[in-house]
Chains A and B, each alone.
Chain A
Amino acid sequence: MSEDRPLVQVDHVVKEYGSSGWSLRNRGEVVHAVSDVSLSLQRGKTVGLVGESGCGKSTLGRLVVGLEDPTSGTVSFDGVDVRKGSREQRRRARRELQLMFQDPYASLDPRMKVGSIVAEPLVVQHQVSRSQRRERAAALLGEVGLPASSMTRYPYEFSGGQRQRIGLARALALNPQVIVADEPVSALDVSVRSQILNLMLDLQLKHSLTYLIISHDLTTLRYIADEVGVLYLGKLVEWGPSDSLFRATVHPYTKALIDTIPVAKPAPERVRRAIAVQGEMPSALAPPSGCRFRTRCPRAEKVCSEIEPELRAFGGGHVAACHFPLREPVALAAPALRPGVDSAAERTSDPKSDKAGNTTS
């Protein structure tokens, strides 16, 4: 097994809803939730996905864990297509890719005790005996900082932060390598968020977990993610190492997202500045032609409505799809640039890793 091979590889994934001809109510409308997105997760790293609601980031997370099947394209785990592999390989992918949910109030069955909730993955995957299950549940709860006595209680007896801990314990039950976390702290009170983020970091170190964290909150991602991808209307518009993405932003949309973050910092006066982006994201039923962001982009010109921009490399693993980027690209458009893989190859510029990247495609 090559260390350079990404643990999870998302290749040209497209997800459209409402395209099946079976429903009587279907009026031929197709929601383009995810449009040709490729990215990869490197072992032990944290990738963040950011975007406004409706940009497809949650759908992408669900595609990665197998809750949804892509309309086209592939998701592979450790080099194996999670839908095409052998039965055993698919089972393994199921175990290794776990999901952590946003809403601590909806993600735990209110009728089940916490012990059963945490042990349920073990039951489903036919792992370990009943008594071992109890032990394992207690150990998992301990790992997330909850006492074993929690096992006999119901979710409603816990606060939001504690429920997120329970959700995390459940996600860890099968010893997964990858955890996809969809807005893990956005439903929590400010003073509890940092507790959960710290816990996630601790667990990552301890179990060498790979995280895909989906969030609308750039500040959190800036802090927790090694690499960040920005999605707009189902398209990946920018991808890069966290520092580079924030310090040397390329895409006007990413810039707008960063500018609109409310900053809790001393300001001499109430700053009154211009609105960063006008309007709202267009409907995914009919995405704009060419560059999808052009309808709201301050830099848009005629070409943006005619030609869809390709992802271009901006150095240091930083890629973006824009005709009028905020800084100049380092090279001409590389065909089928895949964020995460090709960017890693570019960084090391080692021919061997290049080859490893190619074998996965």
Chain B
Amino acid sequence: MSIDLPDVADTTGQAAALDTQAAVEPKQPSMVLRRFLENRLAILGLLLFLAMTVFCFLGPLVYHTDQIHTRLSEQTLPPGPGHPLGTDQVGYDELGRLMVGGQTSIEIALGAALVAVVLGVVWGTVAGYFGGIIDSFMMRIVDSVMSIPALFLLMFLATMFRPSVLMLILVLGLLAWLAPARLVRGETLSLRSREYVQAVRVMGGRAPRIILRHLVPNVLGTIVVNATFQVADAILAIAAISFLGLGIPPPAANWGGMLSDGLNYTYSGFWWLIYPSGIAIIITVLSFNLIGDGLRDAVGLRAHRRL
């Protein structure tokens, strides 16, 4: 026999070897999931988000309301029979409106986070992998865009174009991709010099393969964490633009818009126009922050939230 007895006798045991090796083990998907599920706050976040989603997207199937036609005869009714959360200043049922508004908010937030993350990953891995002039050039663009005040740009764009769900997704996404791009580029820089990436270069592998098969899967943990925080940020951003009156015009609704409309009636004591949408925003943002924190701990990233 030309080959010695291989050391296959005990494989998994060695992974738990005490001295030095255990510390460098990369986190596997199953392990990440288990650690995430062991985190009670993260589970709470997940449940809150699921509850909000069910409420917004499935709620209208059970609780039918007319969210198209205004009913001026029924404006600003306090909570009571027929309208559990009352009606708003143009007579829409507040509870139903909360559902419809939530749909828009969640759709935009998820969409914007997706755009931001995809763009950020592509930009970051390409810049990080090629390095040199390409990297310098691409990152200077990021720096330049970052130096434009986001809110100003948002207001500018909102006045230029008629806001729609798609437009808001694009605008918010295009504003938010910078952070993930920097994050991913930083990680790529360190991954690029890893031996397994060099191994692919030695065997003749080209950039697309290295980026897609080896770099992206290995920055995925970071990215998923970042994406969750992006969703939370986007929900707040939508609220902010709507608050400035630059959101999607009625009859479409979103939580931010509802909140800003309601605030006009603060002194009239119409609390049901303020609290429900405000609480919905808080719960959703909180749920994503909890999920994000849980994921971050599960994939073993260090303390800093972004960048």
A–B touching in complex (CB under 8 Å): yes
Interface residues of A (CB under 8 A from B): 22-24, 65-67, 91, 94-95, 97-99, 101-103, 105-112, 120-121, 124-125, 143-147, 153-154, 156-162, 165, 167, 170, 173-174, 192, 195, 198-199, 202, 206
A59 CB to nearest chain B CB (Å): 13
With contacts A105-B21, A145-B3 known, is A99 near B14, CB below 8 A? no
Closest Cβ neighbor of A145 among chain B residues: B6
- Which residues from B are CB-within-8-Å of A198? 4
* Binding-face segment, B111-119, B200-208, B226-234: B200-208
- B8 interface contact, C-beta 8 A: yes
- Which residues from B are CB-within-8-Å of A143? 3
A121 touches B203 (CB 8 A): yes
Closest Cβ neighbor of B221 among chain A residues: A111
With contacts A145-B6, A162-B7, A202-B2 known, is A99 near B202, CB below 8 A? yes
Closest Cβ neighbor of B14 among chain A residues: A159
- Which residues from B are CB-within-8-Å of A202? 2-3
A108 touches B205 (CB 8 A): no
A103 CB to nearest chain B CB (Å): 6
Scoring B6, B136, B203, B220 by chain A CB atoms within 10 A of each residue's CB, the highest score goes to: B203
Count of chain B residues with a beta carbon within 8 Å of a chain A beta carbon: 37
B39 CB to nearest chain A CB (Å): 22
**How far, in angstroms, from A328 to B69 measured CA to CA in the complex?**
105
B214 touches A109 (CB 8 A): yes
**How far, in angstroms, from A24 to B132 measured CA to CA in the complex?**
10
- Which residues from B are CB-within-8-Å of A110? 26, 28, 218
B28 touches A154 (CB 8 A): yes
A65 touches B11 (CB 8 A): no
Closest Cβ neighbor of B202 among chain A residues: A99
The listed residue (B12, B26, B204) touching A124 by CB distance below 8 A is: B204
A95 touches B7 (CB 8 A): no
Can you list 20 A-B contacts (CB < 8 A)? Answer: A22-B132, A24-B136, A67-B198, A91-B204, A98-B203, A101-B198, A107-B199, A109-B196, A111-B218, A112-B217, A121-B203, A124-B203, A124-B205, A156-B28, A158-B15, A159-B11, A170-B203, A195-B4, A195-B6, A195-B7
B203 touches A120 (CB 8 A): yes
- Which residues from B are CB-within-8-Å of A199? 3-4
B205 CB to nearest chain A CB (Å): 4
- Which residues from B are CB-within-8-Å of A107? 194-196, 199
B3 touches A192 (CB 8 A): no
- Which residues from B are CB-within-8-Å of A91? 204
